[in-house]
Amino acid sequence: MAYVKQKLWGGAFSKGPDPLAWSFGQSIDSDSELWASELDVSTAHVKMLGETGIITSEEAGQLECGLNAVGKSILADHEKNGGTWGDVFSRLAPDSEDVHAAIESLLEKEAGPVAGKLHAGRSRNDLVATTTKVWLRAQCQILRRRIRETQRTLLSLSRRHRADPMPGFTHMQSAQPVTLGFHLLAYFWMLQRDVERVAALERCLRFSPLGSAALAGTSLPIDRHFTARELAFEGPMPNALDATSDRDFVGDALHVCAMLMQHLSRLSQELVLWSGPMYGFVKLDEGVTTGSSIMPQKRNPDMAELIRGRSARVIGHWTAFMSMMKALPLGYNRDQQEDKPPLFDSFNLCIESLVLSARMLETAKFNLERMAAVAGDGFATATGVAEALVKEGVAFRSAHEQTGKLVRMCEEQGVSLPDLEVDDIAAQRAVRNATVEQSIASRNSYGGPAPGAMDIQIEEAEALLCHPDEGGISSATTHLTPPQGDPSQARDDKKRKD
Amino acid sequence: MAYVKQKLWGGAFSKGPDPLAWSFGQSIDSDSELWASELDVSTAHVKMLGETGIITSEEAGQLECGLNAVGKSILADHEKNGGTWGDVFSRLAPDSEDVHAAIESLLEKEAGPVAGKLHAGRSRNDLVATTTKVWLRAQCQILRRRIRETQRTLLSLSRRHRADPMPGFTHMQSAQPVTLGFHLLAYFWMLQRDVERVAALERCLRFSPLGSAALAGTSLPIDRHFTARELAFEGPMPNALDATSDRDFVGDALHVCAMLMQHLSRLSQELVLWSGPMYGFVKLDEGVTTGSSIMPQKRNPDMAELIRGRSARVIGHWTAFMSMMKALPLGYNRDQQEDKPPLFDSFNLCIESLVLSARMLETAKFNLERMAAVAGDGFATATGVAEALVKEGVAFRSAHEQTGKLVRMCEEQGVSLPDLEVDDIAAQRAVRNATVEQSIASRNSYGGPAPGAMDIQIEEAEALLCHPDEGGISSATTHLTPPQGDPSQARDDKKRKD
Amino acid sequence: MAYVKQKLWGGAFSKGPDPLAWSFGQSIDSDSELWASELDVSTAHVKMLGETGIITSEEAGQLECGLNAVGKSILADHEKNGGTWGDVFSRLAPDSEDVHAAIESLLEKEAGPVAGKLHAGRSRNDLVATTTKVWLRAQCQILRRRIRETQRTLLSLSRRHRADPMPGFTHMQSAQPVTLGFHLLAYFWMLQRDVERVAALERCLRFSPLGSAALAGTSLPIDRHFTARELAFEGPMPNALDATSDRDFVGDALHVCAMLMQHLSRLSQELVLWSGPMYGFVKLDEGVTTGSSIMPQKRNPDMAELIRGRSARVIGHWTAFMSMMKALPLGYNRDQQEDKPPLFDSFNLCIESLVLSARMLETAKFNLERMAAVAGDGFATATGVAEALVKEGVAFRSAHEQTGKLVRMCEEQGVSLPDLEVDDIAAQRAVRNATVEQSIASRNSYGGPAPGAMDIQIEEAEALLCHPDEGGISSATTHLTPPQGDPSQARDDKKRKD
Amino acid sequence: MAYVKQKLWGGAFSKGPDPLAWSFGQSIDSDSELWASELDVSTAHVKMLGETGIITSEEAGQLECGLNAVGKSILADHEKNGGTWGDVFSRLAPDSEDVHAAIESLLEKEAGPVAGKLHAGRSRNDLVATTTKVWLRAQCQILRRRIRETQRTLLSLSRRHRADPMPGFTHMQSAQPVTLGFHLLAYFWMLQRDVERVAALERCLRFSPLGSAALAGTSLPIDRHFTARELAFEGPMPNALDATSDRDFVGDALHVCAMLMQHLSRLSQELVLWSGPMYGFVKLDEGVTTGSSIMPQKRNPDMAELIRGRSARVIGHWTAFMSMMKALPLGYNRDQQEDKPPLFDSFNLCIESLVLSARMLETAKFNLERMAAVAGDGFATATGVAEALVKEGVAFRSAHEQTGKLVRMCEEQGVSLPDLEVDDIAAQRAVRNATVEQSIASRNSYGGPAPGAMDIQIEEAEALLCHPDEGGISSATTHLTPPQGDPSQARDDKKRKD
C-alpha cells in the first residue's frame, strides 16, 4: 500500500514532502493535546455552516454527529490502550501532519465524504488560534482551582501556627521575630495575586479568532458572531489579520505561569533551607523526599528542589516565545507553531507543582521548639528598643543610632539585649522588654504578626476563599475537556493504566 | 573636612564601608528617578505620623513644609543646571547611598533636626516598594496616553487607505489581496490589547506596602489605611512580609513593556521590509532615517531597526528580573535592588518607541501604485476561486484540490488565474472573477477587508478612542511628577538646556 | 504482584514515595538517551573495581559481561519493537526512577546478585556527570560532521555562483552589488566559527568526574586515573565537590548550539525573504515547502520558518539553564536534573536544522536573472563613485558629500548614476563607470567580491575542508553509541519501523 | 551659531534629523568607552593608507600625529574635569552621533582638513567591529588578571583551612564531612575553567574585520594584512560581508561573563547562607556589609547579595543579545548597535564582582568551632559505614540497605552512629569508626578531602598559578588603553576626583 501522509493541502504540488522535512514540520506529537477543544470548535463551526446555509442542515447534522463519534472513538482508544494523546493519534490516524488533519481524516471515517465540507470558510490559521484559546480557558479553571486548594492549605496551617514564634529574616539574616502562621500567610497573598492574574488572563481570551480564515476573512457568508456565541466568547476579534497573527494570549499565559512558579520556587527554596540541618525548622514527609544511591542516611527535599529548578524552565519558555515572535511581520508565520509546546509544558508544571507544594506543606512536621528557640537570635528585637525610645520622644534617627550602640555593647559583653545593663532609664526599660514575646505582641500594625493583627488578616483571607466560585467563563463548551484536563490527575490515571 | 557618606544606618558599625563596596552598593545613580514619588510618599507618611500622635502636629507641619522645600530645591537645581536627576543629586546631596538617604539629608538642611523623626514606623523596605508603585502608576498614565496617540495615527491612516489594495502575506509569501488600511488596523488592535494590559497593570498597583516596615510591621501606632488613602491606593497590603518581599508588580510591568515592544518591533520589521528596494511600498521621511559613513546614497530606516533591536532589551530585562527573583527566600533581599534599572529603561524605551513609530508612520510616503500592482501576484486570488466552487456546491476539500491544480496549469502555461481557459463552466466563472478588486470586495465577513466590513471595523475603533479618558487612578498625589514624567519630552528639554 | 519502584535507595525509609512525587521526580523519560554512554562508563568502572581489588577479577568479569548483555538486550528490543529509548526502557525496566536504576536492574537480570557490587565507590552524582560528558563528546563528533557537510554545500554553491551578480544589502536596503557566491560564502565562515566552537567545547569535556562519588570521594581504594584513561579523558577532575556540582559543560554546549542556530536562523530568514514574491530570488523545492489548508496556491518555506522559530527555543534553553544554576550552593542539587532535556533537544535541533538547511540550498532554484536585474537598484554603485574621486585626490569626506549630491540629482532627474550628466570631468568619469559589473570587479580588496579576491577566498575555504578529519577525541569508547547517534538518521529509521 | 550635529553622512539628505530620532539613535553615551581602541585602529589604518599610497606619506604622518594629539587631549580633559568618558566627549565634541564622528571631528581640530582623508577605504561597519574586538582583547587581559587574583585568595585560604572540618552538603542537606579548604578549592577550579574560557574567547578575536568596509570591501588598494599585523591580529577575516555582519564574539564574550558570574553567584549564595544566624559559619567584615534603616542590629551581606542578584543581569544581557541577532539578514543592521551596552556592563560587573569576592573572603572570620561541631550532624558519616561493610565483602547495594536501617535505628534510639549498639561485629566495627575525623581521613581518593589527597590538589593548583603569564595577544597596540581599563580601579579614581 502506498504510504499516505494525512495533510490538508497538496493540489498544487507535483510531489510529496521530504521525509526529514515532514518529521521536522509535523506537530501532531504536541498539538494532539488540543483534540477536545478542536472538536468543540469544529462543532460550533459546522452548526454555523448549517445555519447560514453554506451547507445544508442535513449535512451539518451529519458533521456534528461525526465529530461526536470522533470524540468517542478517541476516548475509547485511550480507555483501552492508554498512553498519551499523541499515542492515541498515532494509532487512530497515523502519519497525520497535525491535529487538524488527524481529526478531518477521522471525521471522514465516521461521516464519509461530507467531511470534505468541514473546512469551508476557515483556515488552520484561525482554527488553531481559536482552539488554543478554548484549551487555555479550560486550563485556567483547573489552574485556579489548584491555586485555591494550595491557598486553603496555607490558610489552615497559618491558623494552626498563628502564634508559634519563628525568626523573621531579611537578607537571610536575623531581622525580627515573627510567627510561623504570619510567615506562611505571605504565600497565601502571593497566590492570591496569581488568582487575579489568571482572571486577567481569562479576560485576554474573550474574543474569538474563528472565521478570520487565513488572514483576511472569506467570501462565504459565515457568521462569526454565531460561532463566538456558541463557544462562549464575548464576540469575534475585529481584524482578521490581527486575529491570525496574534499570540499575545500565549505570552500572557506564559507570564502568568512564570510568576506562579516564581512564588512556588521561593516557597520551595524555604522548604529546602528549613529542612536542612542548619535550620532544622521542618521535617518533610518521606513520601515527598528521596534518598541517595550512595549515602544511606539521606532524605532529600527533591520535590522542592525540582519545583525550584523547573521554575527556570518556564522563564526559558517565555524568553523563547518572545524571542520567536519579536520580529515577525504579519500575518501567520510558521514560527508561531512553536508556541504550543512551552504552553502545554508550563500549565502541566504549574498544576503539578501546586499539588506537590500543598502536599509537602500538609505532611510536613514543623519543629516549633527549634523555631521558637532561635526566634530572638542576632539581637532580632533591637528595632523594638529603638521604637520604645521613639515613644519616649527620641527622634527615630537618634533612637536607631543609640540602639545600634547598645547592640555593640551586647556583643562586646556577650549578653543578650534584655540582659544588658545600661544607665539611661528609658534605654533600660526598652531593653528589658526586648523579648521575643513582647516583640511579636507589640507589632500590631495592620499586616503585622501580633495576635490582633493576625486575627484580621486571617479573617480577610477566609473571606476571599468563601466565595463559592470566582467564575470565569461558563464551561458550556468544554464538556469533552475533562478527560485530558488535569495533568496531576492524568499522571495517576496513566500509572493505573500501565 | 571628613569624607561623609550619607546613609541611614551605622550605629552598630565600628568602621565605614570599603570604597569599592560603597560604589558597588549605592543606587542613587538610578533610583534618583524616584524622587518625586518619594516626596509624595513621605508627605503622606508625615501627615499620618501627626494624625496618630507619633509626632506632634507641629512637627508634622514642619516636616511637610520641609519636604515641599526639598522638592522645590531639586526642581530649581534642575532648572538651573540641567542634566539627569542623578546629576542633580550628585550636586545637592553628594555621596548619598540612595534616594532615601539623599532626601532625608536634604530634609535636614531644610527642616533641621526634626528630619530625624521622618523615618519612624517605616523602613526602606516598605518605602521603596511604595515609591516604585507610585512612580509606576504615573508612568502607566503616560504610557497609555502615548499608546492612544499612536492608535490615533494608525486609525487616521487606515481611514485614508481603507480601499488601497496591497498584497496580504502569510509565511511572508503572497496570500490574498488586502488593503493598506486593513493591514494598518491590525496594529490598532494590537495596541488596544496593550491599553488593556496597562489597565490590568494599574490594578496590580492598588494596594500599599507602606507601614509594613522592615518585614513585620511596627510597634508604633501607625495608621496604614490613612497613608493608603492619602496616596490614592485602595488599601494597605494585608501581610507585611509579603509586602516587602513582593516584586510581582515589576515583573508584570516588564511583561507589559515587552509585549508592547513586540508589537512595535513587528511594525518596525514591516517598515524596514516595506522601505527596502525589493518591496518599495514606502519611503520613510529623511528626518527618521540616517545615512552611511561610506555609501553616499544611503537612507537607512534606523529608527525602525533600533526599535526592533531594542525590543530584545526588554526581553532581556524580564528574563534578568525573573531569574533574579526565582529562588529568593522571604523577606527583602538586596538582590531586589536590581528591579529598578530595567524598569526605568523599559518604560523610557516604550514611550520613545511609541512616539517614533507614530512619527515614522505619519511622515511616510506610501507608494500606493506599487502596492496595488503587486497585490495579486503569486495567484493570491486562488482562495476566492475555491470558495466560488464551494458556492456551487463543491465540498471545500475538493474545491481546494481542484483549484490547486488550476494554479499548476497557470504556472505551466505562464498565465494568471483570470486569464486561464478551462472547460468546466463553474471553474471558468470562478477564475474570471479572480481579480484583486473582486477578491477584496468579496471578503466581507466580519473583520475582513471588504468595504462594508471595513466600515464596521473603523467605527468600532473610533468608538474606543472616543472615550474621554479611560481612567486609571486619579492623579491627586502626583503633582510633582510631571517634570520627570515623559522621557520623550525630557530628551527635548535636555537638549534645549545643554 | 506488588508494585515495585526501581530505585537505588530506600533503606532508611519507612514507606514508599507518593505517586505524584514519583512521577514528578523520575527522569527515565528523558535520560534513557544516555544508556549507551552509561554502559561505557559502567564498564570502565567495573574494570577498575577489579584492577584495584575492590571486587574480585572474576566478579569484574561477570559484571562486564553483564553490562555487555544489557546493551545487547536494549538494542534487540529496539530492533524488534521500535520507538524511543524511553519506550524501550518502559518495556524492559518499567517503573525505573532513572537510567541508572534501570540499568542496574537489567544488570541484575543478566548477571545476578553480583550486580549489587556495581555501585561501589561511585554515586549517581559523579556517574551522571561523567555519562553526560561522554554522550556530549559523541554528539560533538556528529555535529561537526553535519556542519562540515553544510559547509561543503555552501562552498559548492559559492563556486558555481561566484560571478552571478546580486544586490548586497545593509539595513535591508540597497548597499552595493555583490555576487551570490560571495554572499553564500559568508555563511561558510559563520559555520567555520561553529566548528571551532565545537572544538573548544570538546576541550571543556576533557576531565572525568568519575570517582568523585557523592561530593567528596570515597574511602574505597579506587583509581580515578584508570577510569579516566579507559574513557579517553585526559584525567580526573581534581576536586570532587566541584566535579559533582559543575555543569559548566552543559552551559557551554547550549551556548554553542544557540550560536549555531543563530547562524542557521539568519540563513533561514534570508531564504524566507528571497523566496517571497517581492524578492523572487529563489524558488525552494516542493519537498521542503508545505501548502495551506485554505489557499490552494501556497508553497510556504516552512522548514526555514521553523528553523528560524526554533532557534528561539535554544535561546530559551540556555536562559532556563543559567537561571536554574545561578544561585545553587555546592554540591549537587536536584535542580541540576533539569540540564538534560534542553541539552538533548538542542543537539537534535542543531543536527536536523543543518541537514535541512543543506537540503534547502541544494535543491533551490536561484533566479539569477532577477538578482542581476536588481543588483544596481537604489544607486548601489555610489560608493564606487566616491572612491573614484578619492583616487583623483579628493579627500574621502568631500568625495562622500559630493557623491551624495550626485545621488540627489539623479533622484530629481529620475536617472541612474551612469546616465547622469555632470560638468566636472572627474565626476563624469566616475559616474560613467558606476555600473554593476564595474562595481563588483573593482572591489578586489581581500575578502571582497571581485573575481581575484573570490579566487583566494574559495581557495582558503577549500583548504579548510581538505583536512581529512579535524580530530576530536578518539572514539575508542563509543562503540555502542552509533545506534542512538544522529537524530536525523534516527527519525528516518523510526519511520521505517513504524 | 547654528546647531550642528556631528555625523559622518548627509550629502544626499535635504534636511537634518528629527530631534527625538537623533537622541534615540546616537550612541556616544555608551560607545565613548571605545575611544582608545578606536585611536589604535585609526592609527593602523592611516599608516596603511600611507604605505599603499592611497594618501601621501606626509598626509599619513599628519593624521598619525593628529590622532596622537586627540588621545592626549581626551586624557587631559579627563585628568582635569573627571567624570565618565561620555562626559569627556560631551565637553570636547558635543552633539556627536557616535565615537567615530566625535573622533573625526576632534581630528579635524588637531590636524585640519587632512582629517577628511581618514575614512577612505573603510566604513563604520568594519571600524566598529574592529574597535570592539581590540577593546575586548584588552578587557580579556584585565579579566584574567582579576580571576587569577581571586584564585590566589582562594588557594591561600584553602591552604590555611585544609584540615578544618565542616559539613559537606548535597541537596543542601548533610552529606559527608569535608574540610573548609576542600570546599573553597572547588571555587578555585571553577575559576580555572573561567580562565580557560577567557583564553578561548581571545582566540575568537584573532581575525580583523578592518577593510571590509560597508559589506563588500573597497575599490581602493588597501592592504588588510598590513592593518591586521599592526593591530596584532593573526590576519584579516576572509569575507567582508561576514566580517561586518558577525557579532559572534560579543555573544561568546557575554557567555563567558555569564558563566563567571554564575560561579561568583554560587559563592555569594554560600557566603549569604554561611553568614546567616542558622549556619553561623562566617562573619563578614563590616566594610563589605551594610546596615538597615530601621533595624539597628543589622549587618547584611549586601555585596554577596548584589553579586548574586546581578549575575541575573548578565543572563539578561546574553538573552537580549541573542534575541536581537536571531533573525537578522546579512549584512550590518542597526539593531547590532545594541551589542555594546550589555558588553561593557558585563565586563565591568565581572571585574568588580571578582574584586569584591576576593575582598569578602580575605576579610571574613570563619567560625571554625561551629563548623567542626556540626560537621557530623545528620548521620553524615553513614557512607563510610556502608563502605566499611563493602571492604568486608558485602555487596554495595546490600551495605547501603543495611546502613540505611542502622540510621533508622539511630533515629529511633536518639543516638549517633558511633554510639549505636549492634550485634553484627562487622557493623559494630563500622559504626564505631563513623566519626568526623575518620570520615575525612578515609576519603583519600584523588580529589577527596583526606590530607594526602588535599596535598596533591593544592600542589596542582599552585602549579597552575606559577606560570608567569598565560599569554594572550601581546599588548603592543594597547598603549592608550590602561586609563579606561579596569573599572574597579576607575571607580576609586573617580571618587578621588569628584
- The model's pLDDT over B69-90, given as tens digits with 9 standing for 90+, comes to 999 999 999 999 999 999 999 9
pLDDT on residue A3? 43
Q: Which residues of D touch B342 (CB under 8 A)?
A: 316
Nearest Cα of chain A lies from the Cα of D413 at a distance, in angstroms, of 15
Q: What is the mean pLDDT of residues A243-262?
A: 98
Q: What is the mean pLDDT of residues C243-252?
A: 98
pLDDT on residue C14? 84
* Pairwise CB contact (< 8 Å): D309 & B333: yes
- Those of residues 152-181 in C touching chain B at CB distance below 8 A are 167, 169-176
- Those of residues 96-155 in D touching chain C at CB distance below 8 A are 104, 113-121, 125
pLDDT on residue C16? 84
Q: Which residues of D touch C309 (CB under 8 A)?
A: none
Q: Is the pLDDT of residue D319 over 70?
A: yes
Q: What is the mean pLDDT of residues C130-136?
A: 98
The closest CB to that of D172, out of A174, A272, A401, belongs to A272
- Catalytically active residues of A, by annotation: 171, 292
pLDDT confidence of C124, banded at 50, 70, 90?
Answer: very high
pLDDT confidence of B485, banded at 50, 70, 90?
Answer: very low
- Give the Cα separation of B470 and B478 in Å (integer): 18
Give the number of other Cβ atoms within 10 Å of residue C319's Cβ: 35
A265: its cell numbers: 520556587
Give the number of other Cβ atoms within 10 Å of residue A474's Cβ: 8
- Give the Cα separation of D174 and D157 in Å (integer): 23
D24 touches chain C (CB under 8 A): no
* Pairwise CB contact (< 8 Å): B385 & C296: yes
* Pairwise CB contact (< 8 Å): C383 & B295: yes
- Give the Cα separation of A401 and A406 in Å (integer): 9
Instruction: Tell me what the pLDDT averaged over chain B comes to.
Output: 92
Q: Is the pLDDT of residue C1 over 70?
A: no
What is D263-283 written as a DSSP string?
HHHHHHHHHHHHHSTTT--EE
pLDDT on residue B474? 38
Nearest Cα of chain A lies from the Cα of C129 at a distance, in angstroms, of 15
Q: Which residues of A touch B391 (CB under 8 A)?
A: 220
What is B372-392 written as a DSSP string?
HHHTTGGGTTHHHHHHHHHHT
pTM of the predicted model as reported, rounded to 2 decimal places: 0.95
* Pairwise CB contact (< 8 Å): C168 & D216: yes
Nearest Cα of chain B lies from the Cα of A267 at a distance, in angstroms, of 7
Q: Long-range CB contacts (< 8 A, 24+ apart) of C151-154?
A: C151/C188, C151/C191, C151/C192, C151/C195, C151/C461, C151/C465, C152/C465, C153/C358, C153/C361, C153/C362, C154/C184, C154/C185, C154/C187, C154/C188, C154/C191, C154/C361
How deeply is B414 buried, as exposed, middle or buried, from its count of CB atoms within 10 A (0-12, 13-18, 19+)? exposed
D interface test, pick of C275, C317, C322, C459 with most D CB neighbours within 10 Å: C322
Q: Which residues of A touch B378 (CB under 8 A)?
A: none
pLDDT confidence of A201, banded at 50, 70, 90?
Answer: very high
Q: What is the mean pLDDT of residues C464-477?
A: 55
How deeply is B29 buried, as exposed, middle or buried, from its count of CB atoms within 10 A (0-12, 13-18, 19+)? middle
pLDDT on residue D10? 80
Query: Which residues make Cβ contacts (< 8 Å) with residue D490, sequence separation at least 6?
Result: D484
How deeply is D82 buried, as exposed, middle or buried, from its count of CB atoms within 10 A (0-12, 13-18, 19+)? middle
Q: Quick one: which of B298, D120, D8 has its CA closest to C168?
A: B298
* Pairwise CB contact (< 8 Å): A395 & B447: no
Q: Quick one: which of B229, B139, B203 has its CA closest to B488?
A: B139
pLDDT above 70 covers a percentage of chain A that reads 93
pLDDT tens digits for range A394-449: 999 999 999 999 999 999 999 999 999 999 999 999 999 999 999 999 999 999 99
- Those of residues 332-351 in A touching chain C at CB distance below 8 A are 333-338, 342
3-state DSSP call for residue D98? coil
Q: Which residues of C touch D169 (CB under 8 A)?
A: 215, 329-331
Q: Is the pLDDT of residue C19 over 80?
A: yes
* Pairwise CB contact (< 8 Å): A297 & D327: no
The closest CB to that of A297, out of D276, D327, D382, belongs to D382
Q: Is the pLDDT of residue A476 over 60?
A: no
Q: What is the mean pLDDT of residues A218-239?
A: 98
Q: What is the mean pLDDT of residues C408-413?
A: 93
pLDDT tens digits for range A367-378: 999 999 999 999
The closest CB to that of D173, out of A172, A293, A300, belongs to A300
Nearest Cα of chain B lies from the Cα of D492 at a distance, in angstroms, of 7
Instruction: Encode burial over B379-400: b for 16+ CB neighbours within 10 A, e otherwise.
Output: bbbbbbbbbbbbeeebbbbbbb
Nearest Cα of chain D lies from the Cα of A300 at a distance, in angstroms, of 6
Q: Which residue(s) pair with B178 in the sheet?
A: B166
Q: Is the pLDDT of residue B221 over 60?
A: yes
pLDDT tens digits for range C152-175: 999 999 999 999 999 999 999 999
Region of B114 on the Ramachandran plot (φ > 0 left; ψ -120 to 50 alpha; else beta):
alpha
Nearest Cα of chain B lies from the Cα of D435 at a distance, in angstroms, of 34
Phi/psi of residue A165, nearest 5 degrees: -65, 145
pLDDT on residue D492? 43
B486: its cell numbers: 515623559
- Catalytically active residues of D, by annotation: 171, 292
Phi/psi of residue B312, nearest 5 degrees: -65, -30
Instruction: Tell me what the pLDDT averaged over chain D comes to.
Output: 92
B interface test, pick of A126, A187, A215, A248 with most B CB neighbours within 10 Å: A215
What are the Cα distances from residue A366, in Å, to A302, A307, A312, A450, D273? 18, 20, 28, 21, 21
A323, closest residue in chain D (CA to CA): D323
A276 touches chain C (CB under 8 A): no
A306 touches chain B (CB under 8 A): no
* Pairwise CB contact (< 8 Å): D23 & B297: no
- Those of residues 212-271 in A touching chain C at CB distance below 8 A are 213-214
Question: What DSSP character marks residue B256?
Answer: H
D352 touches chain B (CB under 8 A): yes
pLDDT on residue C6? 78
What are the Cα distances from residue C125, in Å, to B427, C128, D79? 69, 6, 55
Q: Chain A to chain D, count of Cβ pairs less than 8 Å apart? A: 132
- Those of residues 440-479 in B touching chain A at CB distance below 8 A are 442-450, 453, 457, 460-461
The closest CB to that of C273, out of B172, B301, B322, belongs to B172
Give the rounded distance of the alpha carbon of C394 from its chain centre: 49
B230: its cell numbers: 492619602
Q: Is the pLDDT of residue A96 over 80?
A: yes
Q: Which residues of C touch B301 (CB under 8 A)?
A: 171-173
CB D258 within 8 A of CB D194: no
pLDDT tens digits for range D172-210: 999 999 999 999 999 999 999 999 999 999 999 999 999
Q: Which residues of A touch C338 (CB under 8 A)?
A: 306, 309-310, 312-313
* Pairwise CB contact (< 8 Å): A309 & C333: yes
How deeply is B337 buried, as exposed, middle or buried, from its count of CB atoms within 10 A (0-12, 13-18, 19+)? buried
Q: Which residues of D touch B302 (CB under 8 A)?
A: 21, 25, 334
Q: Which residues of A touch C332 (CB under 8 A)?
A: none
* Pairwise CB contact (< 8 Å): B258 & A169: no
3-state DSSP call for residue D223? coil
Q: Which residues of C touch A14 (CB under 8 A)?
A: 286
Q: Quick one: which of B20, C174, B305, C431 has its CA closest to D360?
A: B20
* Pairwise CB contact (< 8 Å): A17 & C298: no
Nearest Cα of chain A lies from the Cα of B150 at a distance, in angstroms, of 17
Nearest Cα of chain D lies from the Cα of C485 at a distance, in angstroms, of 27
pLDDT on residue B7? 84
The closest CB to that of C300, out of A318, A324, A334, belongs to A334
Question: What DSSP character marks residue B179?
Answer: E
Query: Which residues make Cβ contacts (< 8 Å) with residue A228, sequence separation at least 6?
Result: A207, A208, A210, A234, A235, A236
pLDDT confidence of D64, banded at 50, 70, 90?
Answer: very high
CB C301 within 8 A of CB C284: yes
What residue has cell string 526529514? A20
Question: What DSSP character marks residue C173?
Answer: E
Nearest Cα of chain C lies from the Cα of D377 at a distance, in angstroms, of 16
pLDDT above 70 covers a percentage of chain C that reads 93
CB C487 within 8 A of CB C348: yes
* Pairwise CB contact (< 8 Å): A333 & C305: yes
pLDDT tens digits for range B427-467: 999 999 999 999 999 999 999 999 999 999 999 999 999 86
Least confident of A25-29, D247-251, D328-332: A25-29
pLDDT confidence of D129, banded at 50, 70, 90?
Answer: very high
D382 touches chain A (CB under 8 A): yes
pLDDT on residue A492? 43
